[in-house]
Structure 1
Amino acid sequence: MAYLVGVLVFVVGIALSIALHEIGHLAPAKRFGVKCTQYMIGFGPTLWSTRRGETEYGVKAIPLGGYVRMVGMFPPQPGKRARADTTGRFGLLIEQARHDSAQEIGDELPERLFYTKPVWQKLVVMLGGPTMNLVIAVVLLTVWLCGIGLTAQTTTLKSVSQCILPVSAPADATCGADSRPAPAAQAGLKPGDTITSINGVRTTSWSQMQKAIRSGAGQPLTLGIERAGQALTIRATPQLDARNQLDADGNPVLDADGNPVLTKVGFLGVTPASTYQRQSVTDVPGVVWDGLTATAGVVLQIPSKMVGVVQSIGGGERDPNGPISVVGVGRLAGEVTSSSDTTTTDMVVQLLSLLVSLNMALFVFNLIPLLPLDGGHVAGALWEGVRRRWAQARGAADPGPVDVARALPLAYGVACVLLGFSAVLIFADVVNPVRLGG
């Protein structure tokens, strides 16, 4: 039941994200007078619809997107209709699209047609969808950071190791007969202890405590402890051991092959407990920017990452940082809510994280300047503006709107590639899914 609740929350979240994305197109289009005949969530056969005024609102069977049908997307092409022997298959495809668009236009007034609108209005309409996804991501991220907070390691101990295991040992490894005892356990430290000072210096963060331990190999440390409301003093001596080398932010340093770099440092055998610390609203823009740049990097790597996804279908290892489909993200949402060692706050944070990542991905992905994505229409509008300015500067006649129909063969090609990627990712997420914790 908990698994289904997580999946349901994600499905509702993605449905609302798609619905609001399309409203981002619909609202400004109607505001500028464009006739919109359909607002649909999904593709394929219609499951439900209702008409309000001149617009049909509905839900379709395949919930992998949505669309707003605006009258006049393709400008008319002067001249005779093309023939098969003069234009070829692509030419006929373009002419058919123009013909269908003209049939839809009928006797509609020119000011109701999309292609007659000024460039700035076209940009507002086409950018409205991705912008809505960005707004959703920012709102959810603000709730997360300022209402709940980010996890921060504390000086309270979550666990105390009984022995010294290699850093490469799996999480479920146990101590053997020949394992060296861990200094923390030997000294009598227990989970739940809070380290208040080291060698008389008050400890205020885990990073401060970690530096003192790693640099104190072979040197007895006097630890001030708070245990169940009582103040204690314990002496423990870190032992020299091979551990991950850390950068300035406390993250493991990796070599050229992506493997952790080891270094000899002091080891005590304790792990910190974490808590949530609320952030300031002024921290949100920086986190949003970091998230967008990271998402853009992932999107740019999708073509190369697909090779690994295909290999994983045959039994290869699945890259946990590679692309996944909505099916895969839905499975992760289910795992989040069904995990026995996850608190309610942890569940909320991880579900918010999935929805923030989803909307950032929709924002970045839809800005790719290729049809049929929103970025393709944005690129067309920008090119139209450049052509008109250039003609105006030369004193030439207005070249008119950009003939978007000429890019339809490319649009169909891109759509086929995207559908292929989606099919491969969905299949991979069924047979070899990415799971929490790798």
Structure 2
Amino acid sequence: MQTVSSIILVIGVIIFVHELGHLIMAKRAGILCREFAIGFGPKLFSFRKGETLYTIRLLPLGGYVRMAGEDPEMVQIKTGHDVGLVFNGQGKVSKIILNRKTRPAHAEPLNVQRIDLEHDLYIEGYNAAEELVRYEVDREALLVYDSQEVLIAPYDRQFGSKTLGQRAAAILAGPLANFILAFVLFTGLALSFGVPSDEPIVGDVMPGSVAEEAGLEAGDRILAINQKVMDNWSELEQTIMLNPGQELTFLIERNNEEFELAITPAVRELDMQPGQQFGFIGVYQHFEQSFVGAFVHGFNLMIEMSTLIFKSIGMLITGALGIDALAGPVGIFDFTGQAAQAGLPVLLRWTAALSVNLAILNLLPIPALDGGRLLFLGIEAVRGRPIDPQKEGLAHFIGFALLMLLILVVTWNDIQRVFFN
């Protein structure tokens, strides 16, 4: 149960932060945000705060912020529709009720002839006395259908009315929020547990390891291996990894005394490259407390993680890595469960890595992703006018369908790897 809770929490936090970035920047730009959703599919839970409906949905495969003007409005009023009007204290229409069954007695009936809820904000039609009348519509008027209330979206509250920079910022804010989350988590871990020191000093020794059997202890400084001076931890680590199964002579400094130990690194294989061996003795890097260093370390880790992901994407494109190397929802859930069992620091580090992963994948120039939407904005900037919304919508639909197909293929690979290996 704890593992399941950890999975839900980790995935939920990453998606929440991503969509919160979109929401905050969109609202700052004055865009009407109709819904803030975690997940897709049927609603499990919802509540309304202000003009936005907040929902949790069944399928935890992502989330979205539904901004006015991005999609066709769900409720459209055409000529000849019979509606009921409710007015506010200023004599403006505050509610347009479409369903006759839910229409209150005080609502004025109107057969609509002309209506503009985006620019001039008016509704015109024949009243009960068959007189042609025209009313102003309040900017915050509601469309009511089957007891559901939807705010109208004047054009200046729609996504498309904003400047190119404002629209790009609203889209870019999601991935940026994930980078910020990763930085905060990496920095928080460094503040709590210290910053890895590059000094060749043993931080801790793994129980039952060859290092423990040879007599290495926490705090030991490794001066040299096979008479080669160890200037830093990276050099020490590389020397051990390159000598699997080979006896090495370690020159150790402990309590201002120097002595030698013979250690033979155990032979291990890389998970991603079976048959590729490396040496392992079971020692951990030394950590030291540094307030400023923690922030630098957190930023550097975020950059290193980003670089690794970009390299992996490049290897996928060139074919150096196959589709089997990808992890879908099942694989991510499995890895998250393993991280949860390994302890809170490991789980937080994994959460940060996932957050960076989500940010970068969303920035890829693929329709239906944030990067695809930014690509269309870039094309608009070059050509001086937006692409036809129907063509862009079709491109996003095809992109989304292909992504769903890829997720299905990767999920099948995950199921085989997790449950049948």
| Residue equivalent to 1:112 | 157
| Residue equivalent to 2:404 | 419
Q: Deviations over 1:270-309 (max 9, x none)?
A: 6535554446122333322221111122234456488452
- Rounded Cα–Cα distance in structure 1 between residues aligned with 2:21 and 2:316: 26
| Residue equivalent to 2:372 | 376
Where do 5+ consecutive residues of structure 2 fail to align? 74-114, 122-152
Higher alpha-carbon deviation: 121-130 or 51-60: 51-60
Q: Deviations over 1:91-149 (max 9, x none)?
A: xxxxxxxxxxx999695422112111111111111111111111111111111223223
What letter is aligned with 1:430?
A: I
Q: How has the CA–CA distance of structure 1 residues 299 and 103 changed in structure 2, closer, same or farther, with 3 Å as cutoff?
A: farther
SS at match of 2:418: coil
Q: How has the CA–CA distance of structure 1 residues 307 and 118 changed in structure 2, closer, same or farther, with 3 Å as cutoff?
A: same
Q: How does 1:32-431 map to 2 (within 5 A)?
A: 32-73=29-70, 108-149=153-194, 154-155=201-202, 158=206, 189-190=214-215, 192=217, 195=220, 259-260=276-277, 271-278=282-289, 280=293, 281-302=295-316, 304=319, 307-309=322-324, 322-338=325-341, 347-388=343-384, 399=385, 401-431=386-416
What letter is aligned with 2:33?
A: C
- The two structures, once aligned, show a CA RMSD in angstroms of 4.7
Q: How has the CA–CA distance of structure 1 residues 421 and 208 changed in structure 2, closer, same or farther, with 3 Å as cutoff?
A: closer
SS at match of 2:35: strand
- Rounded Cα–Cα distance in structure 1 between residues aligned with 2:276 and 2:372: 40
User: 1:71·1:104 contact (CA, 8 Å) conserved in 2?
Assistant: no
- Rounded Cα–Cα distance in structure 1 between residues aligned with 2:116 and 2:303: 45
The structure with the greater share of residues assigned to helix is: 1
- Rounded Cα–Cα distance in structure 2 between residues aligned with 1:328 and 1:363: 18
State the 1:60 CA deviation: 1.1
- Rounded Cα–Cα distance in structure 2 between residues aligned with 1:135 and 1:19: 13
| Residue equivalent to 2:102 | none
- Rounded Cα–Cα distance in structure 1 between residues aligned with 2:397 and 2:339: 37
State the 1:405 CA deviation: 2.6
User: 1:329·1:354 contact (CA, 8 Å) conserved in 2?
Assistant: no
State the 1:375 CA deviation: 1.3
- Rounded Cα–Cα distance in structure 2 between residues aligned with 1:293 and 1:55: 37
Q: How has the CA–CA distance of structure 1 residues 225 and 27 changed in structure 2, closer, same or farther, with 3 Å as cutoff?
A: closer
User: 1:26·1:36 contact (CA, 8 Å) conserved in 2?
Assistant: yes
- Rounded Cα–Cα distance in structure 2 between residues aligned with 1:73 and 1:289: 33
User: % of aligned pairs identical?
Assistant: 23
Q: Deviations over 1:309-333 (max 9, x none)?
A: 2xxxxxxxxxxxx221232222223
State the 1:71 CA deviation: 1.6
What letter is aligned with 1:9?
A: S
- Rounded Cα–Cα distance in structure 1 between residues aligned with 2:49 and 2:250: 74
The structure with the greater share of residues assigned to strand is: 2
| Residue equivalent to 2:20 | 23
| Residue equivalent to 1:10 | 7
Where do 5+ consecutive residues of structure 1 fail to align? 77-101, 163-181, 245-251, 263-268, 310-321, 389-398
Higher relative contact order (Cα pairs below 8 Å, separated by 6+ residues): 1
| Residue equivalent to 2:98 | none
State the 1:219 CA deviation: 11
Q: Deviations over 1:155-211 (max 9, x none)?
A: 46556888xxxxxxxxxxxxxxxxxxx9x97xxx54648656879xx9997778887
Q: How has the CA–CA distance of structure 1 residues 103 and 352 changed in structure 2, closer, same or farther, with 3 Å as cutoff?
A: farther
Question: TM-score w.r.t. structure 1 length?
Answer: 0.61
What letter is aligned with 2:310?
A: A
- Rounded Cα–Cα distance in structure 2 between residues aligned with 1:237 and 1:35: 69
What letter is aligned with 1:272?
A: V
What letter is aligned with 1:428?
A: N
What letter is aligned with 1:422?
A: I
User: 2:251·2:260 contact (CA, 8 Å) conserved in 1?
Assistant: yes
- Rounded Cα–Cα distance in structure 1 between residues aligned with 2:59 and 2:10: 16
- Rounded Cα–Cα distance in structure 1 between residues aligned with 2:39 and 2:248: 65
Question: TM-score w.r.t. structure 2 length?
Answer: 0.64
SS at match of 1:49: strand
Q: How has the CA–CA distance of structure 1 residues 147 and 405 changed in structure 2, closer, same or farther, with 3 Å as cutoff?
A: farther
What letter is aligned with 2:159?
A: F
State the 1:49 CA deviation: 1.5
